[in-house]
Structure 1
Amino acid sequence: MQEATSPSSGEAQPEGRPAAAGSSAETPVKPVIPAAAAKRANASVIGMIIALALSIAAFLPVVLMNPQPKGESFRPDVDVASVARNAADVAGFTPVAPDTGNAFRANYARWEAGTASGVPTWEVGYLTPKTSFIGLVQTTKANPTWLLQQTKNAPVTGTRNAGGKDWELRDTGKGEKSMILNYRGSTVVLSGAAQLDEFAALAAAVVASLDANPAVTVSPSAPAAP
């Protein structure tokens, strides 16, 4: 009995001591911040919050007094007829200015000299009633290569009557389509992703404008378009 118990009693003492030392080592030490330092830290945070609140209070009235405009106000009010009259002297003909009432909204109208392509053009962009887009291009110097570029190499898929005239219809098959009309000495190309009924409505207004303008006459001395 002495041999069995004496080792265990001898080991119990060393094991007990490390356990007590380990428990004291694992006890977390809580840092103590002086009251003055804690007061200064709290004052800094409160000061930042007050400064932020004052900045928001100063900026908020400016935002409220200048509300963001609605989406429709971003649409520029382009007077296509006025720009067309100004471009007539440079173009050598009266560019079309379709009267669509308030149905179509023009967001640009310009004369392009065609320095790169060799084909000077009258260009107007229209936002349709269904919030799509149709681009109008008119020229007196159209050629097959230029037409392919304007219609994105789309094949001819038929014709569509608009304004009493048969327009050539080209469709890419990916939503983009074009309608082409050669009439009264010029070529008009309408291109975009709008629906065909919107194309037809704009095309009819184009025909009316072409009929109202003098027909384009080509000088006999002028070289033929390639």
Structure 2
Amino acid sequence: MGAGHGHRLHRPGDTPVHRLPPHCKLVAVLCFVLAVVSTPREAMWAFGLYAVLLAAVAAVARIPPGFLLKRLLIEIPFVAFALLMPFVVPGGRTTVLGVSLSVPGLWDAWNILAKGTLGVAASVILASTTELRALLLGLQRLRLPPLLVQIASFMIRYGDVVTDEMRRMSIARRSRGFEARGVRHWGVLAASAGALFIRSYERGERVHLAMISRGYTGTMPVIDEVAASRAQWSSAAALPVCALAVCLLGWWTL
């Protein structure tokens, strides 16, 4: 896969969670999310237990609460959508602080917020304890289609390149006295976006030709294999197994 690339989501460390093979953590997070999604929304206590489980994993991984909470802000658009549901979903009504709200809408909003927040938190913990390169190796180990793995790999590798190109274009505009202050400047920004697309496409073509000239045949070489022992699989399974138990108990208590 080549050299690893750092990312602001990753928090280096030497904890039991960091040392788990990436494919074990990927399977564990996927199974945990499936258990959360399968939990009935009426079992509100179950989501509290899921949060406790994630907090325990974060504590073992030595992830500060502030670090985790700051990165949960990515779900703000979903929070805004959920907050609208009590006002637009039809059904029975109830009054909260003098405001008439839809009962089904309140349940739907709770369902989205609870399950979405837990899913994002689990993903943030995974990204915080696993390097991006290791995640790609884990996906490859799990037999994900090679083409999808390569696309993800190139996105990670060249995302910073495109961002740096945008930064240089922004500096060039400012050095010529340009500042976007209104609608009349949208044309310049649109032209810049078009130029960025062309530059990125041309760079991609050059990179592809360089890869072919060096023997690229459609598959990327694997630098190392990440094996997992039975003990590591058992450790990774602790989270989804506990989540499954909570999910089953949630259905049983309805």
**Structure 1 length-normalised TM:** 0.23
Structure 1 or 2: more strand by fraction: 1
**Structure 2 length-normalised TM:** 0.21
Higher RCO structure, 1 or 2 (CA under 8 Å, sep 6+): 2
